[in-house]
Structure 1
Amino acid sequence: MGDVKHNLWSVLPCALLLAGCIPATGGPGPASRPLPASAALPDPAPDSAEDWQRQDVMGGDARPTWELKPVAATARDVEAGVYTVRPGDTLRAIGAMTGAGSEALAMENDLAPPYLLRPGQQLRIPGGLYHHVAAGETGIGIAQAYGADWGEIVTINALAAPYILRVGQRLRLPRAARPLTPRQVDVASRAAAFALDIDDIATGSQPALGARAEPAAASAAPRRPVTTAVAPPVNFAGRFRWPLTGTIVARFGALAPGKVNDGINIAAAKGTPIHAAADGVVAYAGDQIAVYGGLVLIDHGGGWISAYGHAAQIDVQRGQAVKAGETIGLAGATGQVQSPQLHFQLRKNRVPIDPMKQLPPR
Structure 2
Amino acid sequence: MTRGLLLALLLGLAACSTPEPPRPAPRPAPVAAKPTPKPAWVPRKVVADGREVAASRVTVAAGDSLSRIAQRTGTGVGALAAENNLSAPFTLRPGQVIRIPAGRYHSVKPGETGITIAQAYGVRWSTVVTANRLSPPYTLEVADVLRLPAKQVVATMTLEERAKAYTLDIDDLITGSEPAAPARPVATATASAPRPPAPKPVAEPAAFTGRFVWPLEGRILSSFGAKPAGRYNDGINIKANAGTPIKAAADGIVAYAGDGIAGFGGLVLLKHGDGWVTAYAHAEELLVARGDTVKRGDLIARAGATGSVDEPQLHFEIRRGRTPVNPVPLLPKSAS
TM-score, length basis structure 2 = 0.77
Select which of 268, 277, 284 maps to 1:305: 277
Select which of 80, 96, 104 maps to 2:55: 80
* Corresponding residue SS for 2:111: coil
Deviation for aligned residue 1:59: 5.6
Select which of 251, 255, 273 maps to 2:223: 251
Deviation for aligned residue 1:177: 7.8
Deviation for aligned residue 1:353: 1.1
* Corresponding residue SS for 1:203: helix
Which residue identity does 2:60 align to in structure 1? V
Number of equivalenced pairs: 286
Contact 1:316/1:329 (8 A) holds in 2: yes
Give the whole-Å Cα distance in 1 for the aligned partners of 2:98 and 2:163: 42
* Corresponding residue SS for 2:99: strand
Deviation for aligned residue 1:124: 2.4
Q: Name the residue aligned to 1:287.
A: 259
Q: Name the residue aligned to 2:146.
A: 171
Q: Name the residue aligned to 1:268.
A: 240
Select which of 108, 127, 131 maps to 2:102: 127
Give the whole-Å Cα distance in 2 for the aligned partners of 1:178 and 1:321: 43
**What does residue range 1-362 of structure 1 map to in structure 2 within 5 Å?**
60-61=36-37, 63-64=39-40, 66-174=41-149, 194-212=166-184, 227-362=199-334
Higher RCO, 1 vs 2 (CA within 8 Å, ≥6 residues apart): 1
Q: 1:178 to 1:132 in 2, by over 3 A?
A: farther
Give the whole-Å Cα distance in 1 for the aligned partners of 2:294 and 2:34: 17
Deviation for aligned residue 1:128: 2.8
Contact 2:139/2:181 (8 A) holds in 1: yes
* Corresponding residue SS for 2:227: strand
TM-score, length basis structure 1 = 0.71
Bigger radius of gyration, 1 or 2?
2
Deviation for aligned residue 1:248: 0.5
Deviation for aligned residue 1:242: 0.7
* Corresponding residue SS for 2:315: strand
Can you list the C-alpha shifts for 1:306-348, whole angstroms capped at 9, x where unaligned? 1001112111111112111111111112222222111101111
Which residue identity does 1:155 align to in structure 2? T
Can you list the C-alpha shifts for 1:258-289, whole angstroms capped at 9, x where unaligned? 32221111111122111111111110001111
Q: Name the residue aligned to 2:23.
A: none
Structure 1, unpaired ranges of 5+: 1-56, 181-186, 214-225
RMSD: 2.8
